[in-house]
Structure 1
Amino acid sequence: MTLPESVEHSEPVKARTPDPHDFLALDDELDATERAMRDTVRAYATTELLPHVADWYERAELPRSIAKELGALGLLGMQLDGYGCAGLSATAYGIACRELEAVDSGLRSFVSVQGCLAMCAIHRWGSAEQRQEWLPRMAAGEVLGCFGLTEPESGSDPGSMRTFARRDGGDWVLNGAKAWINNGALADVAVIWAHTEDGVRAFLVPTGTPGFAAQEITRKLALRASNTAGLTLDEVRVPASAALPGARGLKTALSCLNEARFGIIWGVVGAARTCYASALDYAVGREQFGRSLASFQLSQRKLADMVVDLTHAGMTALRLARLKEAGLLEPTQLSLGKLANVRAATEVARTARSILGANGITLDYPVMRHMSNLEAVLTVEGTEEVHTLSIGRAVTGVQAFR
């Protein structure tokens, strides 16, 4: 067999020394637009957010002012088309989530709630008039939204929600309560899901509407650099035009949650990367028994395990992004990604904390902050148990939820 001339005389490709922070060079798979997104968000997050995030975390606050900065960068609703949205690829969106969560999970959550929950619901299920009224201002960060699905007695089983909307003449009147609503006390408009006589519907409720109240949840030990609230609706009256015409049935709400889960799958890779990088730097620079921590076999074992977990999580995120772009991504595949990547990131954070020793529990280092956040992210957008059972149902064909 004769090889083609181009093959016979090709120059051998020189191997590269693996980058400790991207061991399999996964970012080589990104196109020019995706790399530009990476560089832009990383630069902004590193210079404008990272210097302040430990203080925000300690004070349990997230300044609303960052919304317009994020909007100016095109990060709010970036995966949506039209209405001032950037219309970027799933991978570009994932990269942005990764770089934001490398600073803090609360920042990724802020963008995710705005773009993948509130804006996505309006974009996907709203009327042309609703889209035009809300989306351009939300994309610019001038108007903030939240997504009211979870309730005090209805978490993993959203179908058991008690919030109800009844017709009264030409209006809808809503009564009920929502819990653990990110951006809830910052929002200008809430997408509220409620039972009606015709099934589950969604309504756009301006937060200044009489009877609507948001109470910020305090004393949190995770996701402190974020806003979380409980919402109450007491005879909240909205016009018929407030109903999202396409939002009929619980599946429409869950479709928005799938968008947010995708962002988490990418985001936790950033959190894990930061924890690993912090541990690596510390191990190299810290001396014990007359030598660096990095020179001990047990330390190297920990660092190697972290590299493996971080690399696997990055590969999973990239594969799911490519499936999503091809229109082939299934919800159960998102369950696998969310379960695997958050689990891996949590283990990386815990291992990194052990390398830093007592220093690992202070806000002078990012590890414990990420570790606490990831414990919450394990529950957000579907608990570990729910995603486990979703995967189990997919591979066995047997329903184990009920």
Structure 2
Amino acid sequence: MKHILEQADQIKDRTVFRRRYIHQNPETGFDTQNTENYVKELLRELNIEILPSTVGVLGLIKGNNTNDMVALRADMDALSLTEENEVDYKSGVIGKMHGCGHDGHTAMLMGAAELLSINRDCLKHDVLLVFQPAEEGPDLGGARIMLKDMENMELLPKIKCMYGQHVTTELEIGKVFLKYGSLTASTDEYTIEIIGKGGHAGMPQEAVDAISIASKFIGEMESFMSRRLDPFDPAVFSVGMIKGGSAKNIIAERVELSGTIRCQSEYNRQYILENAEKILKGICLYSGASYNLKVLHGLPPLVTDDNVMDMVKEFAAEILGEENVVAASKASMGAEDFSYFAEKIPSAFIWVGARNEKKGFVNIMHNPRFDFDEDVLPIGVKMLCRFALQD
């Protein structure tokens, strides 16, 4: 183990080169063919089997026990963002940028693939390499599609556990964030059309005011969220857009409002959706209006497995020291489609610090000036290798 972890430092230059190549050639969504070919080229050089997949790349390294396996995941896609950094490896595509660290994640897994392949005699389990596109979307992302491929190949019963990681400039280089249980939120979206009866603003008794009804609904939902939900189980019901009305002296007949619902638990997710419609239906019923409600069910919350997290916590302490393993105080209301894997496979997901104020790596993710300290790359490789080399 010590030898393999030392090798992660020895291949740092290659890992940095790979990260910078991917950074200079960003691809978004499912359109990641160049990145996929770059990964496949390495896997072929290393004699790693490439499994069929609808999207992304699946690689299989055979270990000493082919009855079970561990899985390692990296996301590959960039953001629709124009980079403002002036660096030698700046994005070569206007309007596309690796502004979330996925270039680093892919390079880390490529580095781990290299080390695990040359040390495959030490592997007690098969290792599945999951290079995934479209973590940032569109639609529901790439994880659910790759998971379906894995199910169709009957791999899921063999996978004992799965690991994912994400760099962050919100944590100093050399540290990791761990959080047990719910880590990121579900991402449902809704659109509501309220249909009243238009009329003259001076004769409201002859009309059914859709704007007034919409405002009542918003107020009731704010009350519901603050009084009917457990304050220790975070959830958000946000109205992002509201459209209605055509003139100052006309009572609006129709109003459309839309927004997002974010939850840390499946219970709250279902509870909010069910009660939002009850509230909407009740207000429209006594007001004489009707409604149409459309819900786009998004990602589930990402919930980690306690036993797998215990193991990862131990590995992180081995590599970085116990003092550098930080317990996150709260979950994120952002989203991560690794949640689809975690629903089916006992999983761990951690945040790896990549902030360095002295070097200027301080901008947060999804910022056009985002970048990270590349000293994090060997750390990520070590964590991936250590997980793969578990007993």
TM over 0.5: no
* TM-score between both structures, scaled by the size of structure 1: 0.26
* TM-score between both structures, scaled by the size of structure 2: 0.26
More strand by share: 2
Which protein is bigger by CA-based radius of gyration? Answer: 2
More helix by share: 1
Q: Tell me which of the two structures has the higher relative contact order, counting C-alpha pairs closer than 8 angstroms and 6 or more residues apart.
A: 2
